[in-house]
Amino acid sequence: MLMEHKEYYLTIADTLLILGQRLSEWCGHGPAIEEDIALSNVALDYIGQATSLYKEIALKENLGKSEDDYAFLRDAWEYRNALIVEISNGDYAKTIARQFVFSTWYYHFLEALEKSNDTFLQGFAQKSIKEVRYHFQHSRDWILRMGGGTEESHNRLQNALNELWEFTGELMTNSVHEMEAIAKGVGVDNVALKDTFDRIVSAIFQEANVSAPADVWMQKGGKEGKHSEHLGFILAEMQFLQRAYPNSKW
């Protein structure tokens, strides 16, 4: 059965799955055990949220697929995630900087999605926003701590923002699939979130004595399936088992 807004569901789900997969790389490598646990917990929340969306797609498509089919058996060009989640983790400052901008956008995205006229997405947003509140707080605290910490932590954070910034713009754009969903009252207008995003981010950056680089040309295309070379490597690792040993379970 053809599912309406499938690509819209995938845009959200893929973005969460890939970020969850990226954060999982810190498991066992965190700078402190508390941070190791924190990022693993955040990763689990994202992967759980993605799972519930894939399950809903499977239910609506009714093709006998499971959530795993969407995660493990699609190639890079079929993924609809924003580019910011696929770029490499870098150092802890870069990982945290990404967490902060991502959670700021995602929190407000979910707040708007609670008003979607798609009842599943409404429930998904109500559920997820409670978790994302904690993710936001965690990353915000670290931005303040690194920005106001030693010269090295401050410089690392500023460098991270310089490297990361070109990938932030895509979050506040609407892809073709998102525009279709917005037109039906299902999707969230990301462009409308930009003012709130800018206001919150610049207030925290000011407090942390760092700044977002000005006049950056923004990368985009991930949400339309045009990805950086990084995504292929993530999928190769994530999908290896199902590709090498189809239908294996444990």
Partner 1 sequence: MVEVEADLIWEYLKMVEDPEIPILNVIEMGIVRDLTWDEDKKKWHVIITPTYSGCPAMKAIEEDIIEVLAELQVKNVVVDTVLSPPWTTDWMTDEAREKLRSTGIAPPEKGSADKGLLMGKVKDIACPRCASTNTIMVSQFGTTACKALYKCGDCLEPFDYFKCI
Write out the residues near partner 1 by the rule CB under 8 A.
34-35, 37-38, 41-49, 51-52, 107, 119-120, 122-124, 126-128, 130-131, 133-134, 136-138, 140-141
For 10, phi and psi rounded to 5 degrees? -65, -35
Closer residue to partner 1 in complex, CB, 126/155: 126
Q: Is the distance from CB of 208 to CB of 142 less than 8 angstroms?
A: no
Q: Minimum distance from CB of 77 to partner 1 (Å)? A: 27
**53 vs 20: CA distance, rounded Å:** 14
Q: Minimum distance from CB of 55 to partner 1 (Å)? A: 8
Q: Minimum distance from CB of 99 to partner 1 (Å)? A: 12
Closer residue to partner 1 in complex, CB, 35/61: 35
Please name the helix (run of DSSP H) or strand (run of DSSP E) that holds residue 172, with its range, or none.
Answer: none
**CA angle (157, 162, 167) in 5-degree steps:** 110
Q: Minimum distance from CB of 37 to partner 1 (Å)? A: 5
- The three-state secondary structure class of 249 is coil
Closer residue to partner 1 in complex, CB, 165/205: 205
Q: Is the distance from CB of 76 to CB of 232 less than 8 angstroms?
A: yes
Size (the chain), residues: 250
CB contact burial 117-151 (16+ within 10 A = b; e otherwise): ebeebeebbeebbebbeebbebbbebbbebbeeee
Closer residue to partner 1 in complex, CB, 72/120: 120
Q: Is the distance from CB of 143 to CB of 150 less than 8 angstroms?
A: no
Q: Minimum distance from CB of 215 to partner 1 (Å)? A: 30
Query: In the 8-state DSSP scheme, what is residue 247?
Result: T
Closer residue to partner 1 in complex, CB, 48/149: 48
Q: Minimum distance from CB of 43 to partner 1 (Å)? A: 7
Closer residue to partner 1 in complex, CB, 47/216: 47
